[in-house]
Amino acid sequence: MNWELLATVLGSVSVLVGAVVFLGGAIGLLRFPDLYVRSSAIGAAAGLGLVFVIAGAFLLHPTWEAAPKVAVAALLQFASSAIGAMYIARAGLLSGAAPTTATRYSQIEFTTGPPTDSTEVTRDD
């Protein structure tokens, strides 16, 4: 088998997998019930989906100059999507966005008022 053909097939499959992961994240963004689950879904889908697309694009047009750029872009994407999703969820928590009743939590008390400086942790045992 020709190596160029193999790289083209793997690159195309990788881009397609990335697009499907993005589609799954978009569907989750529309279907999930609250901010916390939505931010988790879109953060994971953005991180993983874009890495697949970047890797596929590199396999379709591989150059030695692009290899370190692809590696740095993939690492930064993994880090920034996870951090971004975490900060979106934290902003929701601090603004008082309550989760759905189906969400189970044990150490976070949700209130309707503004956040306080209390360090008391409640536990459901």
96-112 tens-digit pLDDT: 888 877 766 665 665 55
Measure Cα distances from 51 to 13, 33, 42, 73, 122 in Å: 13, 27, 14, 8, 39
SS3 state at 108: coil
1: amino acid identity, one letter: M
Q: Round to whole Å and give the CA distance between 61 and 64.
A: 10
Query: Model's pTM, two decimal places?
Result: 0.73
* pLDDT lower than 50: segments of the chain: none
